[in-house]
Structure 1
Amino acid sequence: MREEIGLGRFGDRRLEKGGWSLHEALVRRPCSCIRRLAGNRAREVQFTRFLRNKKVGVAEMASHAAARTADRVAGREVIVVQDTSELFLGGRRAKANGYGPVGKGGGVRGLLLHAALAIDAGNDALLGLVDAQVWNRDKGKVTARRSRATTNKESQRWISVAAKAGKALSAARSITVISDRESDIYEHFVRRPANVEFIVRASWDRQIKLTSGKSARLFAFGTRLPKVDQFSVTIPAAPGRKERTARLVLRFSPVTLCRPHPSPGPGLPDTIGLTMVDVREVSADHGGKPIHWRLLTTHVLTNPDQARRIVDLYRKRWVIEEFFRTLKTAGFDIEEADIGEPEVMIKFVAATAVAAVTIMQLVRSRDGMTQESIADAFEPDDQPVLEALSAQLEGATVKQKNPFPKGTLAFAAWVIARLGGWTAYYGKPGPKIMRLGLEAFRRIKHGTTLKLRNV
């Protein structure tokens, strides 16, 4: 697997080597145990020294990963999905180790991870990590939220991702940053980079200014808009929710948001023009809560097809949920890491986030729809091994043949999935299968190296 997706250059050759080695171990043997990742005492010491080194930082890891992503975006229509996830690391013991509160009530301690992923809007290829921020709420009691500038709040992360995306992905044909309700911040819209568009799910029933000069409330205004389209979409399964087909009604209109009072920051304009896309589910026969999305976008929309496109792009936000699932339960079990020092754990989470992208690339390329090259995730000397394994793993039936062209990432994903225990008959291989397959591939690749060296 490619090591250079890894953790950057820090000026110290041994430190740089330690970062690459840790990334390689995380990709090939995804887990949260440093000792198991290392495999021997020498590498365990190497990984530990790397994570404890003051020269290593989350910003450097994320910046290097973003640079690798930037190499792949030229000429593409790119969407950037971002969100925050809480990492639950324990109770009293975690508190004693210095971990801050997460979740409701403050009884559970852990870290927070904010991640942003770049995706090709045309074929859904996962292009890479744009940013990763990891922090610990260990500052004690803070001043009231309204008395602090946005730069001193956790909400600054939404603005920072947009700025980094605009800079790092500037070679893309277009950039649209997509985020959920927590990013519905007036200053977020105001500080938007010129080369970046937004799609944000509205959280606040804001005051808006009508063309007549009067004021209204955003949510009631959206409900009164005329229906312009009705269509069906598949809503994927989630914890506590089965997959279903939903019939949605679409409305849209330009809106002028008024600055909140008291003002969230100095120098902000009194109003800002956006477009609201109101999407409501009318097939509420499933027993669950029907969908109602109020999407605010900086894209200028003139017809229902363009509004429908905004809904389709917003639905791709689900990729970030799959990313967090890969980190937590489906691949790395990051919350099971027994690391008592928060600063070390913060760096380990960042390193794992970089490695999780590779696992997800394999999962998402399994159908051949992303049209990615094998070189996007594997080293050149991996390809002949993968081709030999494919020939060996293929069976007599059509379903047991590798259907993808050699040299594509889909071809490699088929091999890795078969090594992970997938039979090619039932379902589609997910992160756990790819994790097992990569571990098996690592052992096989090591065996071929030993043979070539006549050991």
Structure 2
Amino acid sequence: MHAALAASRSSADRNEAAQFWRDRGGLYDNEMQRWHDGIFAAAEKLLHCGQQVVHVGDRELGRYNMLAWMAYLNMNFVVRASLDQLRTMVGKLRLTLPDALAEAPWSGSVEAELASRPENRSGKAVKSHPSRRSRKAVLSFRSQAVELTRPNHKESKESYNPLGQLLPDNLSISVVEVRELNPPAGEPAVHWILVTTLPVNSVAAQLDVIRCYRRRWIIEEFFRALKQGCKFERRQIESAQGLLVALAMFLPVAWSLLRLQTAATETPNARWQSLFAKPVLTAIRRL
């Protein structure tokens, strides 16, 4: 299942979700096809929303082909890239983005609350997101404009857009590096490389990019509410039709759980009844 969730910069106030199934094979792998379809569906739904739309994604989206495609369509985005995946030319050297920013001055720092990550997770999850305790972290940040270079091999999937057209050799983009310079002993340091089309020419603008990326964690909480709060995965639904019926039942419940959790964090003194319409409150009281 691949879903898109829309949220404001400050609170989760609405959502849009889309679901796609695709056969394997072709120029894109299944994961990239889902990202492509999800971004396109979200952009179409939010075309006339009257607000700036910023697509936020994690490392699965941080490939040259997807970034160049979104930039070509004039989409705004903040995407976390893998530390060694993208390249830029500095003189005659083809460097990773962390190496390219190594001499740039730090713009400032910001405190962030880091959620814990348990050890009893799958090997893939632990490898990409190491276990850690919940804690406060001081994150330093800096930015730089760069020219991303297309992967060297024309046979690579990352050299083509979703229409199968060869991408341009370079992509002008901004990078915000976020790093925990002094992590506690034994704890993995936070290190993000955020590539973006948003302005980064001031401390406030760089903080806005970081804030946009951190909103991505809402979707993690949403799926946690769906999987753990609603026990969705335990239901062992095999057919696509059965999955859609179950999602129609449980997605509103998961969304309500997310709203309650967000309100508890951002407005802890608010009454929970204020989050629900009167018909919903009436139904809850009768259960």
Q: Give the TM bin, normalised by the shorter chain.
A: 0.7 to 0.9
Q: Is 1:243 matched with 2:105?
A: no
Pick the aligned partner of 2:15 from 128, 141, 153.
Answer: 128
Corresponding residue for 1:342?
239
- Distance in 2 of aligned mates of 1:367 and 1:232: 16
The corresponding residue for 2:50 is 172
C-alpha contact (below 8 Å) 2:61/2:67 kept by paired residues: no
Query: In structure 2, do the counterparts of structure 1 residues 365 and 232 end up closer, same or farther at CA, with 3 Å as the change threshold?
Result: closer
Distance 2:19 2:252 in 1: 9
**CA 1:443 to 1:238, structure 2 compared with 1: closer, same or farther past 3 Å?**
same
Distance 1:296 1:214, change over 3 A: same
Question: What residue number does 1:183 align with?
Answer: 61
Match of 2:4 among 106, 116, 122: 116
TM-aligned CA deviation for residue 127 of structure 1:
0.7
User: How far 1:162 sits from its partner (Å)?
Assistant: 2.1
Matches within 5 A, 1:51-450: 113-121=1-9, 123-133=10-20, 135=21, 148-150=26-28, 153-170=30-47, 171-192=49-70, 194=73, 196-203=75-82, 204-210=84-90, 212=91, 215-240=94-119, 241-263=132-154, 264=157, 265=160, 266-329=165-228, 331-339=229-237, 341-351=238-248, 352-366=250-264, 369=267, 404=271, 410-413=272-275, 442=283, 444-445=285-286
Deviations 1:192-246 (A, max 9, x none): 2746311111124322123x46533323112332222123222123334322111
Separation (CA, whole Å) in 1 of partners of 2:63 and 2:2: 16
Structure 2 Cα separation of the partners of residues 173 and 208 of structure 1: 32
- In structure 2, distance between residues paired with 1:239 and 1:149: 36
The CA deviation string for residues 70-95 of structure 1, in whole angstroms up to 9 with x for no partner, is xxxxxxxxxxxxxxxxxxxxxxxxxx
Query: Are the equivalent residues in 1 in contact too, given 2:78–2:209 (CA < 8 A)?
Result: yes
Compare CA radii of gyration and give the structure with the larger one. 1
Counterpart AA for 1:271: N
Deviation at 1:366, TM superposition (A): 4.3
Could you tell me whether the CA contact under 8 Å between 1:175 and 1:197 is conserved in 2? Answer: yes
Structure 2 Cα separation of the partners of residues 333 and 441 of structure 1: 25
What is the aligned-residue identity percentage? 26
The 3-state SS of whatever aligns with 1:173 is: coil
Q: Is the 1:159–1:192 Cα contact (8 Å) retained in structure 2?
A: no
* Cα 1:367/1:342, change in 2 over 3 Å: same
Q: CA deviation at 1:174?
A: 0.2
Provide structure 1 residue ranges, at least 5 long, that are not aligned to the other structure.
Answer: 1-112, 370-398, 405-409, 417-437, 447-455
Check the 8 A contact 1:125/1:365 in 2, yes or no.
Answer: no
In the TM superposition, what is the alpha-carbon distance from 1:365 to its structure 2 partner?
A: 3.2
Q: Which runs of 5+ in 2 are unaligned?
A: 120-131
SS at 1:250 equivalent: strand
TM-score by length of 1: 0.52
Q: Provide the C-alpha distance between the structure 2 equivalents of 1:168 and 1:355, rounded to a whole number of angstroms.
A: 22
Alignment RMSD (CA, Å): 3.0
Q: Report the AA paired with residue 321 of structure 1.
A: E
Deviation at 1:443, TM superposition (A): 6.0
Amino acid at match of 1:444: R
What amino acid sits opposite 1:129 in the alignment?
Answer: E
TM superposition score normalised by structure 2: 0.79
**Partners of 1:129 and 1:354 within 8 A in 2:** no
Distance 1:290-1:186 versus aligned 2 partners, 3 A rule: same
Instruction: Indicate how the Cα distance of structure 1 residues 411 and 353 shifts in structure 2: closer, same or farther if over 3 A, else same.
Output: closer
Aligned partner of residue 6 in structure 2, secondary structure: strand
Q: 2-side partners of 1:306 and 1:181: how far apart?
A: 22
Q: How many residues align?
A: 262
Change (3 A) 1:184 1:441: same
Aligned partners of 1:261, 1:253: CA distance in 2, in Å? 23
Counterpart Cα distance in 2 of 1:253 and 1:235: 26
Q: Which amino acid aligns with 1:131?
A: A
Aligned to 1:64: none
State the Cα distance separating 1:262 from its structure 2 match.
2.1
